[in-house]
Structure 1
Amino acid sequence: MNKEEFARIIAMIISFFPNSKINTDNNTQMELWYGMLKDLDFNITKLAITKMVTDEPYAPSNMIGAIRKYYGEIAGATPIANEDGYGMVQKAIRAYGYARPEEALASLPQNVRDAVIACGGWLQICTSEEPETMRAQFNRAMASINARSSSESRLNSAVKKKIKELQYMSDKVVMIELVPESKLDITEREQTQDNIQGMAKVNDVIKSLGLRED
C-alpha cells in the first residue's frame, strides 16, 4: 500500500478502536507503522481490520501483529489442520505408491509436504512398519510447521528477508566451525616439513658459495 492508503487504514483503526494508542502527530510512530505495513495489499488489509473488529472487543495490545495475523488468515490458503495431514498422505500413498514420490508430493499442500520431509521423506513414510508411531511423529511435525507459518505470516517482507540473511550467515559460520581439526593439523605438518626441506636447500646453497662456515 502507498502512504495515502496507509493514512486511510490508520483512520479506519482509530474509528473502530478510539482508545488505541495511535498518535498521528508522532511522525516517528507513523513512519515505523508504515514500514511494518506497506508490503500489505490495501483492500485485503481493510478486510483484515473488519474481521479483527468482529473478533476483538478491545484494541489489541500489539495492533500491527494483530493486523498481520488477520491479513494472513484472509490472504493465505487455509492451512491443513495438524491431524488431517496424515490422512492426506495415506490417500496419496494409495494413489501413487512409493515409486512415484514427485507426483505424490505435488498432490499435497505445502505444509503437508514439509511435514513429509521432516519425517524422513516419502519412502520413509511409505515403508514405516509402525504406522501409529509415524502418525504421531507426523502430527507433531505438522503442528510445528503450522505454528511457524502462523508466526511468519505476522512478519513483513523486509523482516523476513533479514531473518533469512541472518540464518544464511549463521549456517556459513557453522559450516566453517565443522571443518575437521585433524585435516588442519595434517596440512600444518606438511607445510612445516616443506619449510624444513626448503631451508635445508637454502643452507646447502649458502655453504656451496662459501658464504657461511659450518
Structure 2
Amino acid sequence: MIWMDKKEIIKLLTYLNHCYPGKFKFPKKAKRENEMLIEVWYDLLKFYDNQCVITVLKKLIINNGHWPPSVGEIVKEVESLKLPAEARITAGEAWSLVLRSVRRYGYYRAGEAMKSLPPKVRETVEHFGGFTAICHSDCNNNYVRSHFMKLYQEVNRHNEELMYLPAAVRDELLEAASKNENQNKEWLL
C-alpha cells in the first residue's frame, strides 16, 4: 500500500486540471497558492492509499463531469468504501428487515427480533416506539412505512457526520468536543 504523499497530490491536482480545463486551475500563478492548495489536499488525503484515492477520483469524475470534486468529496467517498455493508443499508432495506423480523419473531419474541437487527435499524425501531409498537401498527400502511423511513434517515444523518471523517480528524473533533463540554461544566459551577 502506497500512502498519498505530496508528489502524488501534485499528480492528482494536475490530473484534475486536465479533466476540467477552465474549471480547475493547477498550477496556479502564485507559488504561495500552489503550496497552500497542495498542503490542504495533502493534509486531508495523507491517511489514504494512493490507488484507492485515484480510483475514487475517477469515479467522481465519471459520475459528475460538470464540476471538479472537492477534497472533502473524495475523502467522504473513500471513507464510504471502508464502511461495513450494514452501514450502507438504505431506508427501504431497513424497513424490509423490520418486516422480516415481525414475521419471523412476532410480538412475543421482541427481544430476539431486536437482537437480529443491525444497530442503526434497532435504534430506529426504538425511536419508532419499540418493536411491539411496530407489531401493533399496520405494517402495510404507507404512513407507517414512511414514518419509519424518515426516522431511519434521521438516525443515519446524525451518525453520518462523524462516520465519513478520517479517523485522525474524528478523534481531534471528539477530543475538542470533550474539552468544550468540560469547560462548559466548569463555567456552570
TM-score of the two chains, using structure 2 as the length reference: 0.68
Pick the structure with greater CA Rg.
1
Q: How many residues of Structure 1 are paired with residues of Structure 2 in the alignment?
A: 172
Inter-CA distance 39–171: structure 2 relative to 1 (3 Å threshold): same
Superposed counterparts of 1:17-28, under 5 Å: 17-19=20-22, 20-23=24-27, 25=31, 26-28=34-36
Task: Please name the residue that 2:4 is paired with.
Answer: 2
CA distance in 1, matches of 2:18, 2:12: 10
Aligned pairs (5 A) from 1:77-156:
77=84, 79-96=88-105, 97-100=109-112, 103-105=115-117, 108=118, 110-119=119-128, 124-128=130-134, 129-131=136-138, 135-148=145-158, 150-152=160-162, 154-156=164-166
Q: How does 1:51-70 map to 2 (within 5 A)?
A: 51-60=59-68, 63-70=70-77
Pairing of 1:7-46 with structure 2 (within 5 A): 7-19=10-22, 20-23=24-27, 25=31, 26-46=34-54
Structure 2 residue runs of 5 or longer lacking an equivalent are: none
Look up the match of 2:83: 76
1:163 aligns to 2:169 (yes or no): no
Q: Is the 8 A contact 1:98 1:126 kept in 2?
A: yes
The DSSP-based 3-state class of the residue aligned with 2:40 is helix
CA RMSD after TM alignment:
3.4
Alpha-carbon contact 2:56-2:74 (below 8 Å) kept? yes
SS at match of 2:59: helix
Deviation at 1:171, TM superposition (A): 4.6
Pairwise CA distance, 1:165 = 2.1
Q: How far apart, in 1, do the equivalents of 2:60 and 2:155 lie?
A: 24
State whether residues 79 and 166 of structure 2, in contact with CA within 8 Å, keep that contact through their aligned partners in structure 1.
no
Offset at residue 125 of structure 1 (A): 2.0
Any idea what SS the aligned residue of 2:91 has?
A: coil
CA distance in 1, matches of 2:80, 2:164: 10
Q: What is the percentage of aligned positions where both structures have the same residue?
A: 19
After superposition, the C-alpha distances for 1:140-177 in whole angstroms (9 at most, x for unaligned) are 22112333455445533333222222333455467678
Q: Residues 32-71 of structure 1, C-alpha deviation per residue, up to 9 Å, x if partnerless?
A: 21001112222221111111111222333x6112222433
The code of the aligned residue for 1:43 comes to: Q
Shift, 1:73, TM fit: 4.7
Structure 2 letter corresponding to 1:85: A
Distance 1:162 1:22, change over 3 A: farther
